[in-house]
Structure 1
Amino acid sequence: MRGKALHTDNASAGDFKSSDDLVNGIHSITRSAIENNMMSVLTDCPSREKLGWLEQDQLVFPALAANYDMEAYLRKIVRDMADAQTTEGLIPSTVPEYTSLPGAYRNDSNWGGAFVLVPWQLYTTYGDTDTLRTYYPDMKRYAAFLKTQVSDGILDYGLGDWFTPDRSFPRAVAGTYGYWRVVDALSRIAGVLGDDADAASYRSEADASAKALTRKYYDEATGTFGGGGQGAEVLALDMGAVPDDQRQRLLDHLVGSIRDAGYHLNLGEISLPAAFRVLSGAGHDDIVYKIATQTTSPSYGYQVVHGNTALGESWDGGPGQSQDHFMLGAIDSWFTSRLAGIQQAPGAAGYQKLLVAPAVVGDLASASGSYTTPYGKASTSWHRDGSAYRLRVTVPAGATAEVHVPVTSGAVQADRGARMLRTEGGTAVYEVGSGDWSFASVYTPAGD
């Protein structure tokens, strides 16, 4: 299996009841939950119905791929999805379909949508075009099936933001988001496969759905979306279902609601990965870190300090629900991509071009991690001692990397051969090839 290591030093780790650092504890229970559910198909839990619920495969894909070699495994699951597709084009929510579930439990765009999203993720992660090409006609049949449920751009059917504690969440927001992700991905897939007409058609459908949700759910008077709950606002921001000139206003409301909740999340598994994307994309990694390091209910840390050894189904991981679920494991990919800082450049596929940009947040003094790409292992290690910041990067053979080094004063010390590209917003940006690289700077994070 393709493994990823993560290690952090937290200045207040002694406050926790576990001897492990909190972030590493969350990483550990997430990995345990994944491993305990990959004995055959990817199941939701090993103790209850043991079914292959599909939404986890696409929602938690980045964490799966960062920890294990998932290429062959998920290609097999995609084939299982194709085998289970009905004559109408439906992809059932559990595959293989050992039992036919009723209504929305069998038909939800965020579950069946894995048939489109997982192949797209296989392409972006491993450069796999074969799976795209093989199942493209069947993916189109699934999109056509979903379209029969769409009215005026909105798909008001499904399970909503599953397991959210927010009872005000509008079901149509999650259903339409799932449909939007399917046609958005199909537009990109069509582009990769050279089908320009389909790419334009699916792009038009995606844009129409986003605009339909904006018209129905964005309240310009209050600057809120879908009643103002975190999950609805996260999905709106992720899919662009908000007027461009109102985006910052909606983002500010979302951040304010998270702060007001004591940096706890009040949302479900569908909106959870989007929450981390939206916050990080807007420069709020500090908010994500505060969410990740809460130890009061509901939070990941609550599970760690109360002795859970695997991630639970509910936010508290308490009795009455599965004690071994990975559906809430999206935070682990934030550890890799932001704390360790290992990503691939926007628009790239197969990790041939890396983007190394660790987030130096909170009380973390250091973090290190690795990601085994198709080209080999990429790794990072950074350490901060007061204002002295050091970053070490390993780039595998055949790959290149754009490295972002935070700096508040003076010049960055970089190994010979690192090519300076630009400076932007207190960051020096370098381009490097394969090999080991070191950088040093003077950096004082805001608030220190």
Structure 2
Amino acid sequence: GPSVQFNFDAERLFAKSLRDMRQSQTKDGLVPEIAPEYVQFDWGGDMFRDSPEWGSSSIILGWYAYRWYGNKSFLADNYAMMTRYIDYLGTKAKGHILTQGLGDWYDLGPERPGVSQLTTPGITATAIYYYDLKLMVDIAMLLGQKEDAEKFETLQQAVFSAFNQQFYRPQEHSYGSGSQTALAMPLYVGLVPQEAQQAVFEKLTTTVCQNDTALTAGDIGHRYLLQVLHSNNRDDLIYAMHHRDDRPGYGYQLRKGATALTESWAGLPNVSNNHFMLGHLMEWFHTGLGGIQQDAGSTAFKHFRIEPKMLDALKDCEISFRSPYGKIYFNREQSKGNYQVEIPVNSQCTLVLPKGTYQVNGRAMEVQTVNVKEDHVEFKLGSGKYTITQ
């Protein structure tokens, strides 16, 4: 989703996709993995039809689209579908744990890729279930459904307790099998108790480094791995995991002649070689290298931050994104100490740069400094074009 949104104006496409999900939802509330569901893809039982990691698009996409475009109809039009799907997942859960579906599809394990190999069954499905409930609390409150919000919050806490009882191994600061996905997903969705979060994150980074920073996370886990590393300022590990071309990954696919994303990290010739599912790194190009991120309480990028990472390894970076308010542009020529910024009309930006003395458009910086720390400074910028020099 986010990788698409940074490259295309997908508002109408997402509305259409959600409408397809509504029309494909079954009487008992299941949102199948394919919508429109012209044919039931039920090879291997129901695992290809009933996988919470896919069906939860009916909730997650609606929320993301609302945040991206500021259009509350993404929530209002789909609220009935969302609540019915939550109810459906509740009927499938055993002790608040979901185990059906494909899991971390096409993770990189010892066998031919397919159904998750490395992550304990139930971790990804239950983590997504918890994330659904977390989002539904906010969605219900926005739509004035307070009683629903209270119900979702109560159920969310029950899933939290069941998940940790079932999968958490406190002596090892680990979840389930301890794979990249098994550690990253609970951290991202908020399933790790606060007092254990740092230890579990350190376990994750140790796991990554012990594997020579090679990727193992699949279609589901890869995005959450990127998000957790980025939010904890370990963009260096993201870079280390993705810049090589001598092992399965993006560069490896290119070496094998790929002209589109492939279904497998290894670019296997006997599976799909025009597949959309492993494109999560494009989001990090914008939010990590370029540093463009929407503020937590904002919609449609009316308020956003530009906080570029990897300044020591990648000196120069130019990135743009056309938000609903207009073009957001950031160009850093750090080797020269120059930065160009463009902020759309009626938008505000918090720009985060290395600590120092700056001039804006040839003048001493007059914008308000909102925060100064040891290694960086934050500035508030209104709409306009800026050339910033040290």
Write out aligned runs for 1:170-319 (5 A).
170-319=120-269
The 8 Å contact of residues 108 and 215 in structure 2, kept in 1 or not, is answered as no
Which structure 2 segments of 5+ residues have no match? 110-116
**Correspondence for 1:65:** 5
Q: Aligned residue pairs: how many?
A: 377
Q: What letter is aligned with 1:74?
A: F
Which structure 1 segments of 5+ residues have no match? 1-60, 442-448
Shift of 1:295: 1.5
Shift of 1:395: 0.3
Per-residue CA shift, 1:113-152, capped at 9, x if unaligned?
1111111111000001012112212211111011101122
**Correspondence for 2:375:** 426
Shift of 1:425: 4.2
TM-score by length of 1: 0.81
Per-residue CA shift, 1:366-416, capped at 9, x if unaligned?
11111100001101001222xx53322100111110110112xx4233454
1:147 equivalent to 2:62? Answer no
Higher relative contact order (CA 8 A, sep 6+): 1
**Correspondence for 1:74:** 14
Structure 1 window deviating more from structure 2 (131-140 vs 413-422): it is: 413-422
Q: What letter is aligned with 2:377?
A: A
Shift of 1:341: 1.4
Specify which of 327, 344, 358 is matched with residue 412 of structure 1. 358
Distance of 1:328 and 1:171 partners within structure 2: 21
**Correspondence for 1:130:** 73
The 8 Å contact of residues 97 and 163 in structure 2, kept in 1 or not, is answered as yes
SS of equivalent to 1:100:
coil
Write out aligned runs for 1:303-382 (5 A).
303-361=253-311, 363-382=313-332
SS of equivalent to 1:91:
coil
TM-score by length of 2: 0.93
SS of equivalent to 1:411:
coil
Per-residue CA shift, 1:293-346, capped at 9, x if unaligned?
122212212122343211111002131111111100011010011111111112
Structure 1 window deviating more from structure 2 (278-287 vs 300-309): it is: 300-309
**Correspondence for 2:114:** none
Specify which of 88, 92, 97 is matched with residue 32 of structure 2. 92
Identity %: 29
The 8 Å contact of residues 390 and 440 in structure 1, kept in 2 or not, is answered as yes
The 8 Å contact of residues 71 and 126 in structure 1, kept in 2 or not, is answered as yes
SS of equivalent to 1:378:
strand
Shift of 1:417: 4.2
Per-residue CA shift, 1:54-113, capped at 9, x if unaligned?
xxxxxxx10111000100011011111111111111111101101112212111111111
Do the aligned partners of residues 143 and 437 (structure 1) sit closer, same or farther apart at CA in structure 2, a change above 3 Å counting? same
Distance of 1:271 and 1:111 partners within structure 2: 13
Distance of 1:427 and 1:152 partners within structure 2: 47
